[in-house]
Amino acid sequence: MKLLLTSAGVTNASIRSALVELLGKPVSEAHALVIPTAVYPMSGPAAAWRVITGQSRTPLSEIGWKSLGVLELTALPSLGRDTWLPWVEEADALLLSGGDALYLAHWARESGLPELLPSWEGVCVGVSAGSMVMAPHVGEEFVEWRPPTGGDEALGIVDFAIFPHLDHPLLPENSTADATGWAARLPCPGYAIDDETAVTVVDGAVEVVSEGHWKLFA
């Protein structure tokens, strides 16, 4: 499994080049499954439709995949692993949309998907909450939908947290000062990244790809 953790999708040439390198092939030759699950608590079905059809403000589905399917995590527990596992195994990329990271983490656990990811050979591309979900914690600032177990624990696939949309002009609560406070309360390191930045993870090696600005809080 390889990770491309973004704030706002494939927003520039550097992030796209990183994606192609992770895939080992052009995007136009890769098969992807988009996971819109995180969208529902925050933005509802219309936003999920925009993600799936490539009409969102965070380029993900619309970047020229050879094929694109939808993997809805809330449906997987009722289908059984024998049904959906081949879909994941045949995909080159899983595309995790933004929304609510803890809702996404809950349904990822319920589906059993995280157990398969360490040995899966594809690329997980996250947008905002879809990136945050990989962390051990999201931080209390990002807790909206409250999981049954409480807390702010996400999947813990990586050992750092993500603060997305750094210094976004429409999100005054995502300033560098806010990110600094967020990081101070985390029990793990954190990357604050703007919408022109991504973090890649390959076999535990972490790199930052950016045409914008970012900050590592160690």
pLDDT, tens digit (0-9, with 9 covering 90-100), for 106-154 = 999 999 999 999 899 999 999 999 999 999 999 999 999 998 889 999 9
Does position 176 have pLDDT exceeding 90, yes or no? yes
User: Distance between CA 100 and CA 132 in Å, rounded?
Assistant: 9
Question: How far is C-alpha 23 from the geometric centre of its chain's CA atoms?
Answer: 16
SS3 call for 145: coil
User: Distance between CA 29 and CA 172 in Å, rounded?
Assistant: 39
- CA gyration radius for the chain? 16
Tell me the mean pLDDT in the region 190-206. Answer: 97
Residue with tokens 């692993």: 81
CB 92 within 8 A of CB 30: yes
Does position 1 have pLDDT exceeding 90, yes or no? no
User: What's residue 144's pLDDT?
Assistant: 94
CB 174 within 8 A of CB 201: no
Does position 158 have pLDDT exceeding 90, yes or no? yes
Average per-residue pLDDT in the chain? 96
Structure tokens at 180: 């600094």
User: What's residue 149's pLDDT?
Assistant: 86
Fold (CATH) for 2-217: Rossmann fold (3.40.50)
In the chain, % of residues over pLDDT 90: 95
State the pTM of this model.
Answer: 0.96
Tell me the mean pLDDT in the region 47-76. Answer: 96
The CA distances from residue 149 to 22, 121, 133, 145, 152, in Å, are 35, 31, 16, 12, 9
DSSP secondary structure string for all residues of 182-207:
HHHT-SS-EEEE-TTEEEEEETTEEE
Tell me the mean pLDDT in the region 141-170. Answer: 95
Structure tokens at 178: 């806010």
User: Distance between CA 175 and CA 169 in Å, rounded?
Assistant: 9
Does position 74 have pLDDT exceeding 90, yes or no? yes
Question: How far is C-alpha 19 from the geometric centre of its chain's CA atoms?
Answer: 13
Which residues are within 8 A (CB) of 125 and not within 5 positions of it... i.e. 6 or more apart? 4, 6, 10, 19, 60, 93, 94, 95, 96
Write the single-letter amino acid at 180: T
Q: How confident is the model at residue 193 (pLDDT cuts 50, 70, 90)?
A: very high
Give the dihedral of Cα atoms 165, 171, 172, 173; nearest 10 deg: -70
